[in-house]
Every structure is written in structure tokens, then in C-alpha cells.
A and B are shown apart, each in its own frame.
Chain A
Amino acid sequence: MTRRVPFAAVFGAVLIALLVGCSAVSQTPSVPPRHPEDLPVGRINCLECHKDVSTGALKPYASFRHSRVFIDAHGTYARQGQSLCAACHAPAFCQACHTRKEEVKPSTKMGNRPDRMAPHRGDYTITHRIDGRIDPGSCFRCHGNKNDANCRQCHR
């Protein structure tokens, strides 16, 4: 019975949210589910068209400039919400890397797109020994409890 409590609490909260949703929800317009304009190829700079603060994401568009800085820290922003991301990226975009038991590394799938940031280029079976020793926390985010199908060949 105890194990049912958290589920009851979550779905109870969903029900309450539904019941009072119309009056309790912020009147700020949501980010549209699809970007209204065709997007150019390559890294996006929202500031080419947008100014100041996104009314949907509630942060300046500058924060989402797809620079190396943003790409390295994208998780920090995603943990506070993905509404703005979802306007341009299909849900499957995240799962090119964030998966449960992937067999093909992103850089192999995107071998024709060397311009994109993709982890584990080259013969990473060698380099991962070094990167894993000096900063295993960066590996753990994706490989700690998922995305491990290939690891089992050696790690048992």
C-alpha cells in the first residue's frame, strides 16, 4: 500500500492541475510547438531575428545562442525547461545521445556531419580510458545507468 502513495500523489497533483489549470496558469504565451519560420542549416543564433527575452522561455534569447559555451552547458538550461528547445528540435533530437542502450555512437551516425558536436570521435575505445580516469563524472551522466550496450563487451 505504501508503494502506491507516491503514484497517487503524482496523479492526484496532475488531476488538481487539470481542475484548476485554467485559472492558475500564467497568462504568458507558451512557446509555439513549432518554429514558424524555416531554420537555416548549422548552428543557430536566435539573436539574428529575436531580441531580449523569450516570452515563452522567460530567459534572454542570448542565453540560447548555440555557441560552444551553450553546447557545453545545455544541460543546465534544459533542466529548467525544454519548451524553447522543443520549438526547433524534435523530441528524438535529444535521444541521438541520451538513450538507454545505444549501439551506434552519434559521431558514426553523423559521419557526414563533422561540423556538429558529437561525443566520442575517433577510436574512443582507447581515449575513453584516459577521459574516464581524469573526469568520470562527465561519463556518468549518460553511461551510469543507461546507454551501455557496447560497454558490456569489456565491463562485466
Chain B
Amino acid sequence: MFLLPSIILVYMNGFFCENMFIPNTVLGVRMGRPTTVASSGKRLLPSIVAISLVLPLLLAVTVRAADLSASSSTYLRYYERELAGGKKNTFAPLYEYLSADAANLGGAPVAFHFYGWGRVDLSDASGSGKESGDLGSAYLEYLHPRGNAQMKLGRFFLAEGVAVETLDGGFFKVTTPAGIGISGYGGAPVEHSILDNVSTGNSLYGGRVFFVRPGFVEMGVSYLKEKGPFQGKDRELYGGDLWLRVAGPVELTGQAAYNQSTQAMASQRYAVRVVPGSRFDISAGYEAYSYKDLFQTALHPAFLSPSVDNADKVQTIFGVLDWEVVSGLTLELAAKNIRHDKANPGNANRGEAGVRYAFNDRKDVFGLSAAAVTADRDENEYQEFRGFATWSPAKFHFSLDGLTQQYKKEINGKKNATQIVASAGYKVLSSLSVSGDLTYTQSPTFQQDYAGLLRATLELGMTPPGGKK
């Protein structure tokens, strides 16, 4: 179960080394900026991360066992791939996902959170090497008992105004008695470029000023700046966000981002939602974005010319409904109209309908759904049907999931794809579950593919009643 923490630690070491100590000159050619400039932000990071990792160890002696929790998920996958020339590769990657949380460090409202994964291949290399891994988060968090004031220090996932980032750095947020609040963050962005010879951003900082009146409104303006090689410019965004309870169960939400680097609106999303009770929920809205302004910071060639026409713009109208018709039986409907400025890819509509039935004290669910995409161009049209069920008698857990898609235009000589996933599991202990999945796939990619997965999940929940998912 814990075979791979060492791999994760190896990649934590890689995190320190790759991100902070390798001089910029070995990272290759950067676009639009000198290659030898090192940002001051990165110089700060070793100390920030070291503090966030060492401090919990120092305080650990005062942590009560009841405030510690850890989760380990181990996956052993098995699959084969036939390569050009008839050669067949066999893959058996073993993954370990480890997360740990320690609260009340030093008797204070301070917590430490950790999440990371590692992989070793037991057969042919499934990635760029036979080992891989990533440190997702490792940070200290302070939660003030009043006003949701908080601070974070280390590597963490951040969603705040225009920012949806993983960051090596710090974050704070505080709301005053008048309802006016402020948040700020700074550090080095944790990104991953798959463009050759292009590095990720160097430093990222920003903040949000907001006003909140409980149960009525929250509105904010935010700013983000990331220094980096993004088509010759930094990334600089201004954002606005709104949640407004208009009347009773009706609320309006909005978010918009203005790209200062391209001098244009990057994206907007506005929605009205009605939640009149605990069983009915409906929403409709409008969304728009411009390729050139939203994708300016892409480190993925699929979002850049020539893969896409950067002059294109998208406007979307959408609606979603969720209605628990009778206890346990829920109807879901969704529709979306997507309009492009450019004839290629052209406009499209997606409609879907589904039902879910929760039973066995809501531990199990049976569901059916159908979706159809109609489009100006045949290659963008398909239909999708899905059925799934879970069944959990005593300590066993079984599930079956089937998905099939029919494409209007042939892809690699085929017009359909099907995948079926069957799973069986057993709860060995209250904290330990084991399960196995068998997946069958037939698609334009696969003639007939069988893949297996063994899963072991350990939850060391030395926690008081309640807890986390």
C-alpha cells in the first residue's frame, strides 16, 4: 500500500530542484524575454516551502492523534498496446496517491495539508520514463475562528476571483465587520508546459477586493499578474465576480475577465438560478470568450495557431435542470447552444436528458442518460447513451458502467465507440477497501481493448466524528 511514498518524495525533491535551483539558462529558449533572468520570486520559494514543511514537524509533538488523517489510494493498472510494425507493449503502472492532513498544530487553528502521487512501471514504460510523480500540495493553513479569515503558505490550489492556479507561495484573506474584504497571493505558478522550448511563468501575484452582505450579495474585483513567456507578454487579468440573491430563491451569478495584455475581454459568464426548495434547481445563462484573449497564456499547442484560428469567438447560451421528482428519483436536463464567429468549426447544439435513482439508503445509484450534439459540420455531430448502476450488499460493492457514442462522420473508419467498466470490491476493514475494475473498449482507436485495474484504498481516519470526503 505504501510502496510508493518514496517515489513521491523523490519527486518532491525534483520539485525543489527543477523549480527552484536549476538556472534559467538550462530551461531552453524562452519566448519574448531573456533566458538568463531569474525572478526574485523563485529565490524566495525555497525558504517558503522549507518553512511550510519543517514547521509542522516541529509542531507535530503537540498534535493530538485525533487531529491527524491520511488517505492512500494505490492503483495497479494493466493494459496492452499494439504499435506500428506489430510490436506489442505491455504496461503495468503502479500508482500511489497519498494525502495527509494534520489539524490543530501547536494547539492553534493551524493545519498542514499534503497531496502527491508517484508512479513506477512494473513492465514497459507507460510515460516518458518508468517513474513519474508530482507534488500536488504541501502547505500550512491558518483559519481564524471569525470571519473566515485565513492564510496559506506552501504549495496549494487556489481559486480566487480570476485566479484558478496551483501556486508555490502565500495567500491571505480577511473580511472586515463592514463586509468589505481583501485577499492577496504571490509566489511562483506551478504549471506544466508541453510546448517545446517554452517555459512556464516565473512569478504570479494578485488579489481581490470584495463586499459581502450575508444572504444577499457578494461582489468582487480581482487582479492577477503572471510574469512569463506568453506570446511575448506577461499575463495580466482584471476580473469581476458577482453573486446576488435577487428575491427568495432566485440568484444571479456573473464572472468576467479582462485581459490587459491583449486589451480585450477574455471571458464572461452570467447565469440566473432558481432553487425554490430542496428538490428543484434550474439555471440558465450566457457565456462568451475570445480565443486570442483567453488562450494567450496557453502552454499547450492545441490552443494556439495553427491548431485553432485565434480570431474565433464563442458565445454560448445554456440551461440546466435538476428535479428530484420523487424521493430518490432525479431528472436531469441540460441544453447548450454554442455559436462560433468562424464557419469552421461552426455552430453546435448539445442536449441531454438523464434520470438517476438512489436506493439502498442512497448508498447505491442507478442511472440512464442520452445526449445528442448537432452541428453545422458533420464531423462535430455525435450521439451518446450511458447506463450505470452500483450495488453495495454488506461489505461488497459492485458497479457496472456502459457508454456508447455514435459519430455522424467516420473517424479512422469507424462510426461508433463503446466502453464498459465492471467493478467489484470488498471492504476488508472499516478503513481498508480493495476493488478491481475490468474495462472493455471498442472505438476508432481500439479494435478490442481489455484493461484491468486493482485498487486499494486506506483511510487512516484518526478523526473525531464527522470528517472529510
- What is A's interface to B at a CB cutoff of 8 Å? 3-4, 6-7, 9-11, 13-14, 17, 21, 24-31, 33-43, 45, 47-48, 52-53, 55-60, 62-63, 65, 67-70, 72-73, 75-83, 88-95, 98-104, 108-109, 111-115, 121-123, 125-127, 129-130, 132-137, 139-141, 143-149, 151-152, 155-156
Contact = CB atoms under 8 A, between A and B. Distances in A.
Given A24-B176, A69-B321, A95-B136, 18 more contacts: A7-B44, A25-B147, A30-B143, A31-B148, A48-B278, A60-B215, A70-B281, A77-B253, A90-B113, A108-B453, A115-B367, A121-B401, A123-B441, A123-B445, A140-B303, A144-B297, A145-B299, A149-B192
A51 B348 CA distance: 40
Contacts of B389: 114
Contacts of B464: 34
Nearest to A134: B348
A39 to B, nearest CB: 7
Which of B71, B148, B150, B164 has its CB near the most chain A CB atoms (within 10 A)? B148
A93 B177 contact: no
A33 B373 contact: no
B137 interface: yes
A35 B466 contact: yes
B463 A24 contact: no
B127 A36 contact: no
16 contacts: A6-B205, A17-B172, A25-B176, A27-B177, A38-B465, A38-B467, A68-B320, A75-B164, A80-B243, A103-B127, A121-B401, A122-B419, A134-B373, A134-B375, A136-B308, A145-B297
A58 B212 contact: yes
Nearest to B175: A26
B289 interface: yes
Contacts of A152: 128, 194
A152 B196 CA distance: 10
A57 B200 CA distance: 34
A69 B281 contact: yes
Nearest to B185: A10
Contact of A111 (B143, B150, B401): B401
Contacts of A149: 127, 132, 192
Majority SS at the chain A contact face = loop
B79 to A, nearest CB: 10
Contact of B148 (A21, A30, A72, A143): A30
B301 A156 contact: yes
B301 A155 contact: yes
A56 to B, nearest CB: 6
Contacts of B249: 62
Contacts of A73: 253, 271, 273, 283
B258 interface: no
Interface range, B side: 35 or more
B469 A103 contact: no
Contacts of B350: 134
A38 B466 contact: yes
A40 B348 CA distance: 39
Contacts of A42: 358, 362-363, 365
B282 to A, nearest CB: 7
Nearest to A12: B184
Nearest to A82: B159
B322 A68 contact: yes
B362 A92 contact: no
B274 to A, nearest CB: 9
B411 to A, nearest CB: 6
B295 A40 contact: no
Interface in B96-130: 97, 99, 101, 103, 109, 111, 113, 115, 119, 126-128
A152 to B, nearest CB: 4
Interface stretch (B1-9, B26-34, B378-386): B378-386
Given A65-B281, A88-B468, A137 B294 contact: yes
A14 B173 CA distance: 9
B177 A26 contact: yes
B233 interface: no
B444 interface: yes
A23 B220 CA distance: 22
Interface string B272-302: 0101011001110001010100110111111
B314 interface: yes
B146 interface: yes
